[in-house]
Amino acid sequence: MKKKLNITLVIDQFGETSNGTTVTTRRLAENLTKRGHHVRIVTSSDIEDDDVYVVKKFNLPILKDIIASQGMQLAIPVKSTMVKAFEKSDVVHFLMPFRLSKKGKELCDKMNIASTAAFHVQPENITSTLSLGKVKPLTEFIYYDFRRFYNKFDHIHCPSNMIKHELEKRNYTANLHVISNGITPSFTQQNVEKPEELKDKYIILMIARFSKEKRQDLLIKAIGKSKYNEKIQLILCGKGPWEKHLQKLSKKYLKNSAIFKFVSQQELQKIINYSDLYVHSSDFDIEAIGCMEAFTCGLVPIISDNKLVATNQFALTDKCLFKTGNYKDLKNKIEYMIENPQIKNELSTQYIESSKKYEIEKCIDQMEEMFYQAYEENLKKNLKTEMNKKSFK
């Protein structure tokens, strides 16, 4: 039986947020702890816990506001705090490629501690946030800048095949482990009644941060141009800087103004289970947990076919894909699902079955395997170094 590991997770923000990386990291920590591993956290979030080591927040005014609009908070490394957290660690896992992680990696190497990293920050999301999404040289520069950090590792967690291929194309040299972030068992098909005021509506759901690259605007326009506009009720779950803009578009295009909600996981499960269709219109996504949670409950998705959207790997038929950026094609796919309930019901059953491979227990198995591999390789490396020192003497 393998020893239980002391695992330290380094992430700029670990507090409550709409940011997907933080949400999945909290789940990772919780599930590793359940398996008997000792998990420590290094973060800038103010959490009082013996296993949480708090560093400084990054507070440069203009950048701070832009970052916060995406549900994030960056951190400033504090060496003494990080050394304390890393002591007795078997593996340190870095979740983001910023200043905190860069300093942390330096310390791990000096302290001869095994380290791994995850690729959760898609450069296209950064350029889109800055309204520079079409400036491809900037996107490539960010990939290059990230590579200088990630190529210092032997093992990188990639949440999807899509991002693995993007990294391979750009000469990232580590062992790239494709492991889904996983779906928790609480997301399952349930018989949930629609709220009284929505009983006569066809409910379309999207779960994503309210920002430009998620393209909720495209979904609003597609519904607005549909012959079923009056019948459809759109629910958008999330929060973010684009909410006011989307509310204006909703009033302009939709017969029934969209419902904007930021809800608990329990409430989200209910909404998924009383909705009729899921749409994921995003231009960029490394995995999109919200979409996975939806189809795990049997809610059929319609997804952008953009090659930079990992979510399209989930499409079981071309009727679940629409041409990226094309609201007319999205409208047609929505109308097809409304007009063919039997086909949608058959797809629902298939999606529930296909979702089993993304169960979080299976994903944690794979994460454990990566951590053990890094730990054991580091043990051998340290042993070899010690032997060489003795031989030299």
139 shares a domain with 204: no
Mean pLDDT score, 4-10: 98
- Helix/strand/coil (H/E/C) assignment for every residue in the chain: CCCCCEEEEECCCCCCCCCHHHHHHHHHHHHHHHCCCEEEEEECCCCCCCCEEECEECCCHHHHHHHHHCCCCCEECCHHHHHHHHCCCCEEEECCCCHHHHHHHHHHHHCCCEEEEECCCCHHHHHHHCCCCCCHHHHHHHHHHHHHHHCCCCEEEECCHHHHHHHHHCCCCCEEEECCCCECCCCCCCCCCCCHHHCCCEEEEEECCCCHHHCHHHHHHHHHCCCCCCCEEEEEECCCCCHHHHHHHHHHHCCCCCEEECCCHHHHHHHHHHCCEEEECCCCECCCHHHHHHHHCCCCEEEECCCCEHHHHHCCCHHHEECCCCHHHHHHHHHHHHHCHHHHHHHHHHHHHHHHHHEHHHHHHHHHHHHHHHHHHHHHHHHHHHHHHHHHC
Mean pLDDT computed over 174-187? 94
- pLDDT score recorded for residue 134: 73
Same structural domain, 154 and 222: no
In this structure, the answer to whether residues 147 and 211 fall within a common structural domain is no
Integer Cα distance of 295 and 291 in angstroms: 6
pLDDT > 60? residue 106? yes
Query: What band does 391 get if pLDDT is binned at 50, 70 and 90?
Result: low
Residue span of the structural domain in which 26 resides: 6-182+359-392
Residues 37 and 141 grouped into a single domain? yes
- Judge whether 159 lies within some domain: yes
Q: In terms of domains, do 58 and 124 share one?
A: yes
Most confident of 38-47, 133-142, 279-288: 38-47
Q: Inform me whether the pLDDT recorded for 62 exceeds 70.
A: no
Residue 191 lies in a domain: no
Would 1 be classed as within a structural domain?
A: no
Same domain? For 93 and 22 the reply is: yes
Q: Is residue 217 part of a domain?
A: yes
13 and 159 fall within a common domain: yes
| pLDDT tens sequence across 117-129 | 999 999 988 887 7
Mean pLDDT, the chain, rounded, equals: 92
pLDDT in tens, 107-158: 999 999 999 999 999 998 888 777 776 778 999 999 999 999 999 999 999 9
Residue 189 falls inside a structural domain: no
Tell me: do 255 and 147 sit in the same domain. Answer: no
pLDDT score for 74:
87
User: Any idea of the CA torsion for 119, 121, 123, 126, to the nearest 10 degrees?
Assistant: -170
Whether residue 48 is predicted with pLDDT greater than 70 in this model: the reply is yes
Mean of the pLDDT values across residues 160-181?
95
pLDDT at 222 over 90: yes
Q: Name the band, by pLDDT with cuts 50, 70 and 90, for residue 12.
A: very high
Least confident of 13-22, 172-181, 298-307, 322-331: 13-22
CA 7 – CA 360 distance, rounded (Å): 18
Provide the pLDDT for residue 138.
93
pLDDT for residue 294: 96
Q: What is the mean pLDDT of residues 88-100?
A: 96
Q: Which tokens is 10 given?
A: 């380094």
Position 392 pLDDT exceeds 60: no
- The residue with greater pLDDT, 367 or 241, is 367
Any idea which of 21-25, 228-232, 283-287 has the lowest mean pLDDT?
283-287
pLDDT at position 393: 55
Looking at residue 20, its pLDDT comes to 80
Region of residue 337 (left: phi > 0; alpha: psi -120 to 50; beta: else): alpha
pLDDT at 308: 81
| Mean pLDDT confidence for 260-271 | 93
Claim to verify: residue 246 and residue 363 sit in the same structural domain? no
98 falls within a domain: yes
Domain match, 162 and 47 both? yes
What CATH number does residue 324 fall under? 3.40.50.2000
Please give the model's pTM, rounded to 2 decimal places: 0.89
Burial of residue 386 (CB within 10 Å: 0-12, 13-18, 19+) is exposed
User: Is the same domain home to 202 and 97?
Assistant: no
Q: Decide if 379 is inside a domain.
A: yes
Residue 31 in domain: yes
The larger pLDDT score, comparing residue 127 to residue 371, is at: 371
Same domain, 368 and 345: no
When divided into structural domains, the chain yields a total of 2
